[in-house]
Amino acid sequence: MTPSKCLAVFCLALATLDNAPAQDIRLPQETARYTPSELPGYPLVERNCLICHSAHYVQYQPPSSPREYWDKIVKKMKHPFGAFFPDEDIAPMVDYLVKTYGAERARQDPQGVWPKTGQNP
Ligand code: HEC
């Protein structure tokens, strides 16, 4: 294709895009949010942990995971995965995670089923 033909095709494509009727796109309800909590780590996790992926990864961790496990996870998101949150956010986020999804949850699930989904993934 010559450069001018190529440009014409490109312009035609743009014009077509421009004339396309407005689409009504409805996305499914976002379900993989973090569980709301009074703990100070909740807003931090909302701010720092939804940038790269949903809360699914957190929800699918074993419910028996102890505090040290969450500490390692959060630190791993920073190094090597490159998350930007400040170091002082780590302790409150770990506290929220272990109390909401891990071993320090108030309500322990007797069957050890995965939190939130109620079934194994
Ligand atoms: C810079 C991007 C980024 C941010 C921000 C981030 N993560 Fe991740 N996270 C990743 C990547 C990449 C993976 C690995 C995905 C894979 O293995 O497919 C991951 C995986 C995970 C997993 C799965 C377990 C594992 O070890 O791989 C958990 C749990 C998790 N993240 C929790 C968090 C939490 C909690 C936060 C907030 C403190 C967070 N992430 C913020 C990039 C990020």
For position 53, which CATH number holds?
A: 1.10.760.10
Residue 4 is assigned to a structural domain of this protein: no
User: Looking at the predicted structure, is the pLDDT value of residue 7 above 80?
Assistant: no
Residue 68 is assigned to a structural domain of this protein: yes
- Look up the pTM and report it: 0.74
- Taking the centre of ligand 1 as the mean of its atom positions, its distance from the CA of residue 53, in whole angstroms, is 7
- Counting the structural domains of the chain, the total is 1
Residue 20 is assigned to a structural domain of this protein: no
Residue 56 is assigned to a structural domain of this protein: yes
| H-only helix segments in the chain | 3-19, 41-48, 56-59, 67-78, 90-101
- Taking the centre of ligand 1 as the mean of its atom positions, its distance from the CA of residue 108, in whole angstroms, is 24
Q: Residue 52: CB within 6 Å of ligand 1?
A: yes
Rounded CA gap, 95 and 50, in Å?
17
DSSP code of 87?
Answer: G
Tens-place pLDDT, residues 18-57: 666 777 887 666 568 999 999 999 999 999 999 999 999 9
- Taking the centre of ligand 1 as the mean of its atom positions, its distance from the CA of residue 58, in whole angstroms, is 8
Per-residue pLDDT, averaged over 78-84, amounts to 96
Q: Residue 54: CB within 6 Å of ligand 1?
A: no
Reported as a pLDDT band with limits 50, 70 and 90, residue 11 is low
Per-residue pLDDT, averaged over 52-63, amounts to 94
Ligand 1 pocket: which of 44, 45, 53, 76 to mutate (most atoms within 8 A of CB):
53
Q: What integer pLDDT is reported at residue 79 of this predicted model?
A: 96
Residue 87 is assigned to a structural domain of this protein: yes
* CA distances, 58 to each of 30, 55, 83, 107 (Å): 15, 5, 15, 17
Helix, strand, coil content of the chain in percent (nearest 5): 45, 0, 55
- Taking the centre of ligand 1 as the mean of its atom positions, its distance from the CA of residue 74, in whole angstroms, is 8
| Residue 116 Ramachandran class (φ > 0 left, ψ -120 to 50 alpha, else beta) | left
Domain holding 117, by residue range, is: 30-121
Instruction: Please report which helix (H) or strand (E) contains residue 33, including its range.
Output: none
Q: Which of 64, 60, 57, 45 is nearest to 102 (CA)?
A: 64
Residue whose pair of structure tokens reads 């190529």 in the numeric block: 6
Residue 10 is assigned to a structural domain of this protein: no
Residue 7 is assigned to a structural domain of this protein: no
Per-residue pLDDT, averaged over 107-115, amounts to 53
